[in-house]
Amino acid sequence: MKIIYDDGHRRHAPPVELGPGSFIAHFETPDRADLVLKMTTEAGLGPVMKPEDFGIDPVLRVHDKGYFRFLEDAYRLWKDEGYEGPAIPFGSAFKRNPERHPTSINGLVCHYIIDGAAPIDDGTYEAALQAANVAMTGLDLILNKGESSAFSLCRPPGHHAGPDYCGGYCYLNNAAIAAQAALDHGLGKIAVLDIDYHHGNGTQEIFWERDDVFFLSIHGEPGVEYPYFTGYADETGEGKGEGFNVNYPLPHGTGFDVWGEKLDDALGKIAGYGPDLLIVSLGVDTFKEDPISEFKLDSPDYRIIGQRIAALNKKTLFIMEGGYAVDAIGTNVANLLSGFSESAQN
């Protein structure tokens, strides 16, 4: 399985995020991607190839132009204002009127960044756009170059980014951009399976009223887990999209016995939907030793997950999302992709 990677992701390395009671070291570090690259290639996956440039058009099919321009300009405007450190909001525009846009940089930061875990630093825009290109390059391999699967080693991740906002380490929704581009290419139906520990609120929102993208997510209960506002089981989509959104919220402490049952249920629903492409939002922060998460999956479990996904026998694009126990993150991704590759029928 080809791996798409470029070390330009290192340009995004904010020193801090807002933690409870104080600033803390940013968990979403460049060495995450380095470890995933090391362990997947050592496991015999690859070859590694660099992303191609697809420009900003596929991004603007998913994200609001005003938001995208903000992402591009924010750090410069923030520095011009004389601030030290990355741009982090001190307020929330949760009652914002989309017709009204603040004009000051602080106003914009509070308008477009929904929480304290998406600092915008020097290089954030460039790395986020590159991650979208990493996703697009993986898609291109499957659509146009005869590959049946690919691994887009995106960093920063994307599934918390909505149409016009960033949050939770995510700036551009790499999985959603790839899904929309696949439809624009002519595919009819896409399934997005989000197995990151956190609910993919951004992906859910982007495709909420759509029946051509079926979104399924297994994650920590939103009552006790980030992002705290979506991920409940009764969120099923609206309009044409009714029934094409499925959430599996699970309590802290959930192990592979219960998690695996939800995976099987999700895979059964995907098989019934019959997508032309499966996109996996691949987070491994479900690992028992992840520093910010509370599920109890173990390293060998990831191989089984890969095998079960392969049994669907669909073209599959893996998009890297979260996973923070840096020593194990590479092993867990490598196990999942190895399990998939060994079991894949083509």
Closer residue to ligand OKP (CB): 23 or 27:
27
Q: 16 or 271, CB closer to ligand OKP?
A: 16
Decide: 246 and 279 in contact? Cβ < 8 Å: no
Residue 135's SS3 state is helix
Number of residues that bind ligand OKP (CB under 6 A): 15
Selected from 11, 13, 19, 271, the binder of ligand OKP by CB under 6 A is 19
| Minimum distance of ligand OKP from residue 54's CB (angstroms) | 24
Phi, then psi, of 166 in degrees rounded to 5: -115, 160
Query: Is position 157 an interface residue for ligand OKP (rule: CB under 6 A)?
Result: yes
Cα gap 114→315, rounded to integer Å: 34
Q: Which two tokens stand for residue 66?
A: 């005003």
What x-and-dash track marks residues 137-166 binding Zn ion by CB under 5 A?
A: ------------------------------
Binding mask 193-222 for Zn ion (x = CB under 5 A): ---xxx------------------------
CA distances from 72 to 69, 78, 282 (A): 5, 12, 26
Residue 5 touching Zn ion (CB under 5 A): no
Note whether 283 binds ligand OKP by CB under 6 A. yes
| DSSP state for residue 52 in the 8-state scheme | P
Task: Determine the Cα angle at 42 with ends 152 and 170, to 5°.
Answer: 30
Helix (H, G, I), strand (E, B) or coil at 276: coil
Q: Which of 9, 12, 111, 160 is catalytic?
A: 160
Cα Rg of the chain, angstroms: 19
Among 14, 89, 162, 168, binds ligand OKP (CB under 6 A): 168
| Per-residue binding letters, 117-146, with ligand OKP (x by CB under 6 A) | x-----------------------------
Of residues 22 through 61, those in contact with ligand OKP by CB under 6 A are 27
The entry of ligand OKP, Zn ion, none that residue 32 binds, CB within 5 to 8 Å by partner kind: none
Full DSSP string of 268-298: HHHHHH--SEEEEEE--TTBTT-TT----B-
The answer to whether residue 86 forms part of the interface with ligand OKP (CB under 6 A) is: no
Footprint of ligand OKP on residues 220-259 (CB under 6 A)? 226
Q: Is 199 a catalytic residue?
A: no
CB 318 within 8 A of CB 152: yes
19 interface partner picked from ligand OKP, Zn ion, none, CB below 5 to 8 A per type: ligand OKP
As measured in angstroms, the least distance from the Cβ of 116 to ligand OKP is 8
In the shown chain, the binding pattern of residues 168 to 197 toward Zn ion, with x for contact by CB under 5 A and - for none, equals: ----------------------------xx
E strands in 112-187 = 149-152
The backbone torsions φ and ψ at residue 167, rounded to the nearest 5 degrees and listed phi first, read 180, 160
Spatial separation of the C-alpha atoms in residues 87 and 225, rounded to whole Å: 24
Residues touching Zn ion, count (CB under 5 A): 6
| Helix, strand or coil, per DSSP, at residue 307 | helix
Distance CA 321, CA 127 (A): 14
Q: Are 321 and 194 in contact (CB under 8 A)?
A: yes
Describe the crossing of helices 326-343 and 30-42 by its angle, rounded to 10 degrees.
40
Contact positions toward ligand OKP, by CB under 6 A?
A: 19, 27, 117, 157, 160, 168-169, 196, 198, 226, 283, 285, 292, 321-322
Contact positions toward Zn ion, by CB under 5 A?
A: 196-198, 283, 285, 322
Active site residues: 160
